[in-house]
A and B are shown apart, each in its own frame.
Chain A
Amino acid sequence: MKIPVTITVNGKKHETEVEPRTLLVHFLRENLAMTGTHVGCDTSSCGACTVLLDGKALKSCTMLAIQADGREVTTIEGMAQDDKLHPIQQGFHEKHGLQCGFCTPGMVMTAADLLANNPKPSETEIRHALEGNFCRCTGYHNIVESIQHAAHAMNG
């Protein structure tokens, strides 16, 4: 039943076996015990499970682990380097872009995709980019400011 896969997560290669039906998010949470990626819905709507796959934002609940075979996944656990927060994480800290923290990993990963493609996004562009990520705590105001802060820190 199980099929061998090789998935690189945050730079570390994992060679293992999975049931084909295993969702990437379950693979991360259950098989690798990386619980920073969250599940908030059943309909690929909320974005709490967002990770980067080969650098692009992906809802990891909407891909089977086996589809990520041979590819590179970056999760929230891979953002900070040597205990130093990534500028996006730092932006969320500076601008109080998180409250309960549940949507935060997905928000940070989506912001990473945005800023990779659009280093100086406008408020409207940021709000559009966050279309696939729900936050019930912040009203998004401080998330927008957090991403602006990060954009400034990363690109001046």
Chain B
Amino acid sequence: MTFIGKSVKRVEDKRFLTGKGRYTDDIKLPGMTHAVIIRSPHAHARILNVNTSKAEALPGVVKIFTGKDVAELNGVPCGWQVDFKNGDTMKEPPHKLMVADKTRHVGDAVAMIIAETYAIAKDAADMVVVDYDEMKAAINMREAIKPGAPLVHDDVPNNICFDWELGSDKAEVDAAMAASHHVTTLEFINQRVIPNAIEPRSAIGHYDTANDRYTLYTSSQNPHLIRLLLCAFVLGLPEHRVRVVSPDVGGGFGSKIFHYTEEALVVWASNQIKRPIKWTAERRESFMTDAHGRDHVTKAEMGFDADGKMTALRVKTLANMGAYLSTFAPCVPTWLHGTLLQGLYTTPKVHVDVTAVFTHTTAVDAYRGAGRPEATYLLERLIDTAALEMKMDPAELRYKNFIPAFDGVKQEGYTTQVALQYDSGNYEPVLKRALEMVGYADFRKEQEQARKDGRLLGIGFSTYVEACGIAPSAVVGALGARAGLFESAHVRVQPTGKVSVYTGAHSHGQGHETTFAQIVADKFGIPLEDVILEHGDSDSVAFGMGTYGSRSLAVGGSAIVKSIEKVIEKGTKIAAHLLEAAETDIEFAEGKWTVKGSDKSVGFGDVSLTAYVPHNYPEGLEPGLDFSSFYDPANFTYPFGAHIAVVEIDKETGKVDLKRFVAVDDVGNVINPMIVDGQIHGGVAQGIGQALFEGAIYDEDGQLVNGTYMDYTMPRADDLPMFEVDRTVTPCPHNPLGVKGAGEAGCIGSTPAVANAVMDALSPYGIFDLEMPLTPERVWTAMQNSDAVV
């Protein structure tokens, strides 16, 4: 009975397919009220007056709170500290649950209406009059750091949250760059994108007066951490009296990791009014308040010797934090970006310099890939550009610079210039396979012919390595994390041999209920349907660190394996007793304990029952078969891959048609190939979205110009091709499953592949770089402005 490695169909599908999924907004509690939040229409304005009297008089309105009512409460904290180069602590201005004095981005919360129905709350919201004194806003990062720019927080000079550097000695990098035969330089914006999980965020706060207990239902990737932050930092509630439940969650992509003000507001207010309160974001609120992703302004230089060997990399980045520090914001452009700039190349000297900037815009934090897509975009755009400039083949240029294979067992891990040690890697085969799949040699011939026919075909490459399975705690602690990053798992074998597994990871599309069950069923040798997975409820799952950073299987799955091992170990003691043999003579396989070299055995069910009905039982052994474990890994895991995009550009309109997309990823061992492919597909689509369609546009007053689905281009079914995916397998050497992580890989590799393909198609025009998204107008304008005759 083996499940690991099989494309087992998902056990969670049925409830979603029959409309029985249970998302936060589906929950209706007795006596529940409904909240609507009034948000600032201005990016930067003083609040002069909030008049709620007319709204309060509307029948059905229960209560209205404004920023003044929560002024004494703490705000939501930041969970990661980065220090200035000079050692000073980063600037960490308060992020209040609602603002009373001034607003710092469009969408800042000013008041909360609580009413008997959602409709009444909406009607009341229309009756609240807020007087604002609008002020000039700091929107563009380059402008925001200049002296005299409007300040987002009065006590943060030049709007600089922190500056930070990492890598080789700066002078050595400068020298190596100066000595290079060729230097490729790119200055670009890695644009802000909006996560857009299709389920809008939702939170229900419920204070139970009779039992003095609080419950928060929230659409979160991270229920336990939300509870910790809520109790320890925001509201000072006793943690043992607070339950946080993340039921089914309709996609996260990073945006539902963070502790949001609305979560604390509904919990706090529900104690004020002694009734449950539900708040669900409208889509336009999601656009204004879900933490956004990316938003870097970067100058990147890569040096090469005459043979095309990389000599140095120098990167300087401005990273937008938005108006407030979201939970993990400072970590994204630093430890998740700077540390990945070695890529899969042997570049001997690497230096990165990051300045984090406050602006009057929505907060920016982790979005699928978080820092790694920005690092990969930078590296891979540099390489394809260098190849064009040096007239070398981009695939050959990569082969020349790949770190040689290392498995992390026989060969040591690879130590980078930017603070990491890669666990295992074998980079040539992924590119080789991707080139084979795309038919590279034939493509170049086709491209040549197409050019003669006046058609613009292009191919783009991206090879990436990423760091995921975010942990170990000691390391991330040293880097500024204010939380541990282990994972917990509890395996409870029931008396009848059925198994309940409680994981601190949270599934919001990743299929944990299937993948994790596959592991458990396999290791115990029992049917898949004998395993059930519970997650997302702090009352049933002792602790958890949630799901993000492609960590669930590598960290959470490994925690489950630890508990499984404990069960088998104890089961062996029981089996030895039942079989009247020495423990050392017992082996466990395929669901039974057997006396080695004999046909004497006892089954999983018998041992389970014995553990709970211990009439005939080893002396001194506790009854029960029930273990929890915490797993804190030795290192991050480092998946890698090669992505290739093929595009054709409509010469007359500039519209990019993505014709093919090939992805070969190595995510270590694979438990469920079907689910891994699905993760890659989704990630690739989001990465393509950034390359071709998506990007937040703020005007100079800080209005989000494209804050609805009528203006913000989401990739749709008819925008994308079928994806061609394959894998190589280089196991992770340091976790028991040998797995790495697949959630973000697609999103990390795909964006530069598409951008590179567009530049390749445009190379006859002498166009080497364009800003994303590569919209028809942008591409057409570049062709117009080119002097080349094509």
A contacts B directly (C-beta below 8 A): yes
Q: Verify if B495 is at the interface (C-beta below 8 Å from A).
A: no
Contact of B717 among A29, A80, A133 (CB under 8 A): A133
Which chain B residues border A33 with CB–CB below 8 Å?
28
Q: Verify if A2 is at the interface (C-beta below 8 Å from B).
A: no
User: In angstroms, how far is the closest chain A Cβ from the Cβ of B699?
Assistant: 20
9-residue interface stretch from B8-16, B75-83, B350-358, B554-562: B8-16
Q: Verify if B248 is at the interface (C-beta below 8 Å from A).
A: yes
Contact across chains for B197 and A139 when beta carbons are under 8 A apart: no
Known contacts A46-B198, A105-B19, A141-B720; can you find 7 more A-B pairs with CB under 8 A?
A43-B710, A92-B13, A101-B17, A102-B23, A102-B199, A102-B251, A144-B722
Which chain A residues border B19 with CB–CB below 8 Å?
34-37, 75-77, 105
Given the interface pairs A85-B14, A104-B17, the reply to whether A136 lies near B197 with Cβ below 8 Å is yes
Which chain B residues border A104 with CB–CB below 8 Å?
16-17
Contact across chains for A134 and B198 when beta carbons are under 8 A apart: yes
Given the interface pairs A40-B283, A102-B199, A102-B250, the reply to whether A140 lies near B20 with Cβ below 8 Å is no
Residues 653-704 (chain B) with a chain A CB within 8 angstroms: 674-675, 677-678, 681-686
Q: Verify if B723 is at the interface (C-beta below 8 Å from A).
A: yes
- Bound Cα distance from A142 to B723, whole angstroms: 10
- Bound Cα distance from A45 to B282, whole angstroms: 13
**Which applies to chain A's interface (DSSP): helix, strand, loop or mixed?**
loop
Which chain B residues border A52 with CB–CB below 8 Å?
none
Contact across chains for B9 and A46 when beta carbons are under 8 A apart: no
Contact across chains for B18 and A79 when beta carbons are under 8 A apart: yes
Chain A 2-43, CB-CB to B under 8 Å as 1, else 0, gives: 000000000000000001010000000100011111111111
Q: Verify if A115 is at the interface (C-beta below 8 Å from B).
A: no
Contact across chains for A127 and B250 when beta carbons are under 8 A apart: no
Which chain B residues border A36 with CB–CB below 8 Å?
18-21
Contact of A38 among B20, B199, B678, B718 (CB under 8 A): B199
Contact across chains for B18 and A85 when beta carbons are under 8 A apart: yes
Q: Verify if B73 is at the interface (C-beta below 8 Å from A).
A: no
User: In angstroms, how far is the closest chain A Cβ from the Cβ of B678?
Assistant: 5
Most B CB within 10 A of own CB, among A98, A101, A108, A143:
A101
Q: Verify if A131 is at the interface (C-beta below 8 Å from B).
A: yes
Contact across chains for B710 and A108 when beta carbons are under 8 A apart: no
Contact across chains for A85 and B17 when beta carbons are under 8 A apart: yes
Q: Verify if B279 is at the interface (C-beta below 8 Å from A).
A: no
Which chain B residues border A94 with CB–CB below 8 Å?
9
- Bound Cα distance from A98 to B115, whole angstroms: 35
Given the interface pairs A40-B200, A96-B675, the reply to whether A101 lies near B717 with Cβ below 8 Å is no
Which chain A residues border B20 with CB–CB below 8 Å?
36, 77
CB closest chain-B residue, reference A78? B19
Contact across chains for B681 and A128 when beta carbons are under 8 A apart: no
CB closest chain-A residue, reference B16? A101
Which chain A residues border B18 with CB–CB below 8 Å?
36, 76-77, 79-80, 85, 89
Q: Verify if A135 is at the interface (C-beta below 8 Å from B).
A: yes
User: In angstroms, how far is the closest chain B Cβ from the Cβ of A134?
Assistant: 5
Contact of A98 among B16, B685, B710 (CB under 8 A): B16
Which chain B residues border A139 with CB–CB below 8 Å?
681-686, 715, 720, 723, 746
**Which applies to chain B's interface (DSSP): helix, strand, loop or mixed?**
loop
Contact across chains for A128 and B28 when beta carbons are under 8 A apart: no
Contact of A40 among B198, B686, B708 (CB under 8 A): B198
6 CB < 8 A contacts A-B: A34-B19, A93-B10, A98-B17, A131-B716, A136-B197, A138-B682
Contact across chains for B17 and A89 when beta carbons are under 8 A apart: yes
Which chain A residues border B250 with CB–CB below 8 Å?
38, 40, 100-103
Contact across chains for A98 and B13 when beta carbons are under 8 A apart: yes
CB closest chain-A residue, reference B252? A100
Contact across chains for A100 and B199 when beta carbons are under 8 A apart: yes
Q: How many interface residues does A have (CB within 8 Å)? A: 56
- Bound Cα distance from A135 to B25, whole angstroms: 19
- Bound Cα distance from A81 to B470, whole angstroms: 44
Contact across chains for A131 and B682 when beta carbons are under 8 A apart: no
Contact across chains for A99 and B682 when beta carbons are under 8 A apart: yes
Given the interface pairs A40-B200, A42-B284, A128-B718, the reply to whether A140 lies near B685 with Cβ below 8 Å is yes
Which chain B residues border A133 with CB–CB below 8 Å?
717
Q: Verify if A65 is at the interface (C-beta below 8 Å from B).
A: no
CB closest chain-A residue, reference B13? A93
Which chain B residues border A21 with CB–CB below 8 Å?
119
Given the interface pairs A100-B198, A136-B682, A143-B717, the reply to whether A93 lies near B9 with Cβ below 8 Å is yes
Residues of B with Cβ closer than 8 Å to A? 9-10, 12-23, 25-26, 28, 119, 196-200, 248-251, 253, 282-284, 508-511, 674-675, 677-678, 681-686, 708-710, 714-718, 720, 722-723, 746
Given the interface pairs A34-B19, A85-B17, the reply to whether A142 lies near B681 with Cβ below 8 Å is yes
Contact across chains for B198 and A135 when beta carbons are under 8 A apart: yes
Which chain B residues border A58 with CB–CB below 8 Å?
none
CB closest chain-B residue, reference A128? B718
Q: Verify if A123 is at the interface (C-beta below 8 Å from B).
A: yes
Contact across chains for A100 and B251 when beta carbons are under 8 A apart: yes
- Bound Cα distance from A80 to B20, whole angstroms: 12
User: In angstroms, how far is the closest chain A Cβ from the Cβ of B496?
Assistant: 24
Q: Verify if A48 is at the interface (C-beta below 8 Å from B).
A: yes
- Bound Cα distance from A134 to B195, whole angstroms: 13
Given the interface pairs A36-B20, A89-B17, A126-B717, the reply to whether A99 lies near B196 with Cβ below 8 Å is no
User: In angstroms, how far is the closest chain A Cβ from the Cβ of B443?
Assistant: 22
Q: Verify if A153 is at the interface (C-beta below 8 Å from B).
A: no
Contact across chains for A96 and B722 when beta carbons are under 8 A apart: no
CB closest chain-A residue, reference B681? A139
Which chain B residues border A99 with CB–CB below 8 Å?
251, 509-511, 678, 682
CB closest chain-B residue, reference A45? B709
Which chain A residues border B251 with CB–CB below 8 Å?
99-100, 102, 136-137
Residues 109-129 (chain A) with a chain B CB within 8 angstroms: 123-124, 126-128
User: In angstroms, how far is the closest chain A Cβ from the Cβ of B481?
Assistant: 27
Which chain A residues border B686 with CB–CB below 8 Å?
136, 139
User: In angstroms, how far is the closest chain A Cβ from the Cβ of B657?
Assistant: 13
Closest A-B pairs by Cβ, 3 of them:
A36-B19, A102-B250, A101-B16
CB closest chain-B residue, reference A79? B18
Q: Verify if A73 is at the interface (C-beta below 8 Å from B).
A: no
Which chain B residues border A66 with CB–CB below 8 Å?
none
- Bound Cα distance from A19 to B509, whole angstroms: 36
Which chain A residues border B9 with CB–CB below 8 Å?
93-94, 96
Contact across chains for A130 and B682 when beta carbons are under 8 A apart: no
- Bound Cα distance from A38 to B199, whole angstroms: 8
User: In angstroms, how far is the closest chain B Cβ from the Cβ of A95?
Assistant: 9
User: In angstroms, how far is the closest chain A Cβ from the Cβ of B745?
Assistant: 13
Contact across chains for A130 and B717 when beta carbons are under 8 A apart: yes
Given the interface pairs A131-B718, A140-B685, A141-B681, the reply to whether A45 lies near B710 with Cβ below 8 Å is yes
CB closest chain-B residue, reference A133? B717
Contact of A134 among B119, B710, B716 (CB under 8 A): B716
Given the interface pairs A100-B249, A142-B681, A144-B722, the reply to whether A93 lies near B199 with Cβ below 8 Å is no
- Bound Cα distance from A77 to B14, whole angstroms: 11
User: In angstroms, how far is the closest chain A Cβ from the Cβ of B122?
Assistant: 10
Contact across chains for A134 and B714 when beta carbons are under 8 A apart: yes
Which chain A residues border B675 with CB–CB below 8 Å?
96
User: In angstroms, how far is the closest chain B Cβ from the Cβ of A156?
Assistant: 22
Contact of B198 among A29, A35, A131, A136 (CB under 8 A): A136
Which chain A residues border B674 with CB–CB below 8 Å?
96
Contact of B283 among A41, A126, A128, A135 (CB under 8 A): A41
CB closest chain-B residue, reference A76? B19
User: In angstroms, how far is the closest chain A Cβ from the Cβ of B648?
Assistant: 16
Which chain B residues border A92 with CB–CB below 8 Å?
13, 17
- Bound Cα distance from A94 to B718, whole angstroms: 22
- Bound Cα distance from A40 to B20, whole angstroms: 17
User: In angstroms, how far is the closest chain B Cβ from the Cβ of A70?
Assistant: 24
- Bound Cα distance from A124 to B718, whole angstroms: 7
CB closest chain-A residue, reference B195? A136
User: In angstroms, how far is the closest chain A Cβ from the Cβ of B778?
Assistant: 23
- Bound Cα distance from A38 to B23, whole angstroms: 9
User: In angstroms, how far is the closest chain A Cβ from the Cβ of B706?
Assistant: 12
User: In angstroms, how far is the closest chain A Cβ from the Cβ of B282?
Assistant: 5
